[in-house]
Amino acid sequence: MTELVRLEVEDGIGTIRLDRPPMNALCAQLGRELGALLPEITERSDISAVIVHGGEKVFAAGADIKEMADLDLAGMTTYGRLLQDFTNGLAALPKPTIAAITGYALGGGFELALCCDFRIAGATAKVGFPEITLGVIPGMGGTQRAARLIGPSRAKEIVFSGRFIGAEEALAMGLVNQVVPEDEDVYAAARAWAQRYVGGPAMAYAAAKQVIDRGVEVDLATGLEIERMAFASLFATDDQKIGMAAFVAKEKPTFTGR
């Protein structure tokens, strides 16, 4: 069976490459392959951060409409669970993740990008949710992640309209974190962003990610308790001892990731 997703690891950075020409449409096979990589990425100590990249021309232009067009309610219930399983898995990956967006990240492709912690886009990139023009809505977490990222009103505007959003507007709205002037430099910019986390305190990154992601879903008091417990748990790690000892000694810490 043709591989539609590849994992490449270099200098502490893992790259998940989508490879389903011409537009990287997200099909069931691609979802299963991507989901199957996530446990390996979680366990590998030589991967400190992860980039999701679709290539120099397109990130992912959406879900595979042909694959789902004739599904009934029962069929889509099963299919939709698959779509959310691999996107939720990516979102829960306990390592910093960056989407390197070139060309189009639309529909399911944009939902995949929203599962990442950060998004870097080329100047000509377009993002959005065109599902409404097909008589449906985003079904891979887009309504929920967009609303949490930019607020319900703005999320409704982009979902209801189905319009394509340019990179600079996406940056202003908070949908992406950085815009790169030249599209061919997007992946390099994503690697530079990921490099920040190589050799860092992996357990602390994982804890911070979990606390922030869980915290936005609960009330403040519960969020503070989640933070308190996670903060305390890090005092069982080697990196806490290394980091604080280095601070006291006025030295640069050399973390072990444990």
Our measurement of the distance from residue 160's CA atom to the centroid of its chain's CA atoms, rounded to an integer in Å, reads 23
Is residue 58 domain-shared with residue 143, that is, in the same domain?
A: yes
Report how far residue 81's alpha carbon sits from residue 76's, in angstroms, rounded to the nearest whole number: 8
Average pLDDT over residues 35-46: 96
How many structural domains comprise the chain?
Answer: 2
* Residue 190, helix vs strand vs coil: helix
pLDDT given at position 184:
87
Residue 97 in tokens: 């993740």
Residue 62: what pLDDT?
A: 87
Q: Say whether both 87 and 157 belong to one domain.
A: yes
pLDDT tens per residue, range 56-98? 999 999 888 898 889 999 998 998 888 899 999 999 999 999 9
Q: What percent of the chain has pLDDT over 90?
A: 90
| pLDDT value of residue 2 | 60
Active-site residues, by number, are 111, 131
The answer to whether residue 10 scores a pLDDT higher than 80 is: yes
> What pLDDT is recorded for position 63?
86
Give the model's confidence band at 182: pLDDT under 50 very low, under 70 low, under 90 confident, else very high.
confident
In this structure, the answer to whether residues 117 and 31 fall within a common structural domain is: yes
Q: Do 69 and 153 belong together in one domain?
A: yes
The verdict on 93 and 183 lying in the same domain is yes
Domain that holds residue 21: 5-195
253 within a domain of the structure (yes/no): no
User: Is there a single domain that holds both residue 206 and residue 103?
Assistant: no
In the 8-state DSSP scheme, what is residue 45?
T
Together in a domain, 37 and 96: yes
pLDDT digits (tens, 9 = 90+) for 117-162: 999 999 999 999 999 999 999 999 999 999 999 999 999 999 999 9
Q: Give exposure, 123-148, as e/b (b: 16+ Cβ within 10 Å).
A: eebbbbbbbeeeeeebbbbbbebbee
Q: Does residue 254 form part of some domain?
A: no
Q: Report yes or no: 90 and 148 within 8 Å, Cβ to Cβ.
A: no
Q: How far apart are CA 251 and CA 224, in angstroms?
A: 31
pLDDT, tens digit, 9 for 90 and up, residues 93-115: 999 999 999 999 999 999 999 99
- Per residue in 195-213, pLDDT (tens digit) is 999 999 999 999 999 999 9
Band (234; pLDDT cuts 50, 70, 90): very high
CATH (domain of 31): 3.90.226.10
Q: Among 110, 107, 100, which Cα is nearest to 191's? A: 100
Q: Output the CA torsion sign for 143, 122, 62, 161.
A: positive
Angle formed by the axes of helices 238-248 and 202-215, nearest 10°: 110
160 and 208 co-located in one domain: no
| CA 75/CA 71 separation, integer angstroms | 5
* Pairwise CA distance, residues 1 & 154, whole Å: 41
Beta strands in the chain (DSSP E): 5-10, 13-18, 49-53, 97-101, 104-106, 118-122, 126-128, 165-166, 178-180
Tell me the average pLDDT of the chain.
Answer: 95
Name every residue whose Cβ is closer than 8 Å to that of residue 214 and which is 6 or more positions away in sequence.
223, 226
Measured between alpha carbons, how far is 199 from 184 in angstroms, rounded to an integer? 27
List residues bridging with 166 in a β-sheet: 126
pLDDT the model gives residue 183? 84
> Residue range 231-238: average pLDDT?
97
The reply to whether 137 and 177 lie within a common domain is yes
Which structure tokens are listed for 244?
A: 């604080």
Query: Partners of 9 in the beta sheet?
Result: 14
